[in-house]
């Protein structure tokens, strides 16, 4: 299968994390999003968590009004988030599991175990024109359920692969990668657009970016960290370069 250009969605949550650490107004997530856009990002992702630990409601409003590239509104499938998403009508809504105690989104969404509720949950979002994405593991049941409920997109969770790679467990990372490839193939065959993300870095991005069915990667924490050393624009440009190289 021909490899189309991969889109890069930049997640700016952790600009807000740094801001909130001091209760100040800076660094400003909108400014980061505009810099990312200027550096070639194809979209901006922001996760409005129930506890508002990083992105806040006003950030989401400012991003929605201020950026010229698609906004991917990441949230848990709660009534409160549906109300906000239906008011803003962002380009995309990515549904993720959320636990209060977790440091980051730990696993994929259990779509297969919640088919009836999620079908009803996403119907008004779809009617409002949002591309609804399910953040899932590579498990065939979850991918098939995502197609069944009418989602347009699945985003495959690369966190486990990233952890194995970081720990030097190469054989296990390769097995996980093979499962991600298989999941991408299945999702594509079911008519889903396939995205991936979580824990991606310069060192581990290439084999993921090379998966032909993928259309988009969403990357946040590493890029915001790397921006301390390189600046946000150059950090994004380097990721873009590695993604493009992996697809040639």
Question: Which of 239, 154, 248, 247 is closest to 201 using CA atoms?
Answer: 239
Is 138 among the catalytic positions?
Answer: no
Cβ pair 66, 33 in contact under 8 A: yes
The nearest distance, CB 94 to ligand PXP, in angstroms, is 5
- C-beta closer to ligand PXP: residue 74 or 139: 74
198 has catalytic annotation = yes
The distance of closest approach from Cβ of residue 223 to ligand PXP in the complex, given in angstroms and rounded to an integer, is 7
Assigned token pair, 1: 């299968």
Question: Least distance to ligand PXP from the beta carbon of 49, Å?
Answer: 9
Yes or no: say if 185 and 213 are a contact pair by the CB < 8 Å rule.
Answer: yes
Alpha-carbon distance of 54 to 47, in angstroms, equals: 8
**Closer CB to ligand PXP, residue 84 or residue 248?**
84
CB of 221 to ligand PXP, least distance (A): 3
From 74, 193, 213, 216, the catalytic residue: 74
Strands 214-219, 131-136: pairing is: unpaired
SS3 217: strand
Tell me, yes or no, if 74 is annotated catalytic: yes
Binding region for ligand PXP (CB under 6 A): 11, 13, 47, 74, 94, 96, 104-105, 135, 155, 197-200, 218-222
CB of 154 to ligand PXP, least distance (A): 11
Q: Which of 67, 46, 39, 70 is nearest to 232 (CA)?
A: 39
- Of 94 and 248, the one with the shorter C-beta distance to ligand PXP is 94
> Please, what's the b/e burial string for 38-66 (b: 16 or more CB within 10 A of its CB; e: otherwise)?
ebebbbbbbbbbeeeebbbeebbebbbee
Nearest residue (CB) to ligand PXP, 105 versus 248 = 105
CB nearer to ligand PXP: give 48 or 147.
48
Which residue among 165, 198, 213, 216 is the active-site one? 198
Q: Which of 14, 47, 54, 64 is catalytic?
A: 47
- Cα 79–Cα 82–Cα 87 angle in degrees, nearest 5: 130
Question: What is the distance between the alpha carbons of residues 194 and 97, in angstroms, rounded to a whole number?
Answer: 18
Q: Tokens for 129?
A: 């024109």
Active site residues: 47, 74, 198
């Amino acid at each position: 299968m021909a490899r189309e250009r991969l889109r890069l969605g930049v997640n700016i949550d952790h600009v807000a994390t740094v801001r909130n650490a001091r209760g100040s107004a800076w660094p400003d997530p909108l400014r980061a999003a505009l810099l990312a856009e200027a550096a070639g990002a194809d979209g901006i992702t922001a996760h409005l968590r129930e506890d508002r630990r990083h992105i806040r409601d006003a950030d989401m409003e400012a991003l929605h009004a201020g950026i010229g590239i698609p906004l991917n509104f990441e949230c848990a499938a709660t009534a409160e988030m549906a109300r906000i998403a239906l008011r803003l009508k962002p380009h995309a809504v990515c549904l993720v599991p959320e636990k209060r105690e977790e440091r980051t989104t730990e696993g994929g969404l259990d779509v297969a175990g919640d088919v009836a509720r999620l079908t009803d949950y996403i119907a008004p979002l779809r009617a409002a024109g949002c591309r609804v994405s399910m953040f899932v593991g590579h498990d065939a049941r979850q991918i098939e359920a995502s197609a069944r409920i009418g989602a347009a997109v699945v985003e495959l969770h690369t966190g486990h692969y990233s952890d194995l790679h970081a720990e030097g467990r190469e054989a296990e990372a390769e097995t996980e990668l093979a499962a991600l490839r298989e999941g991408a193939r299945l999702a594509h065959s079911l008519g889903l657009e396939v995205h991936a993300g979580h824990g991606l870095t310069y060192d581990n991005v290439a084999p993921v970016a090379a998966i032909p069915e993928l259309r988009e990667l969403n990357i946040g924490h590493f890029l915001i960290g790397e921006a301390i050393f390189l600046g946000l624009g150059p950090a994004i440009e380097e990721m873009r370069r590695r993604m493009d190289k992996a697809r040639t």
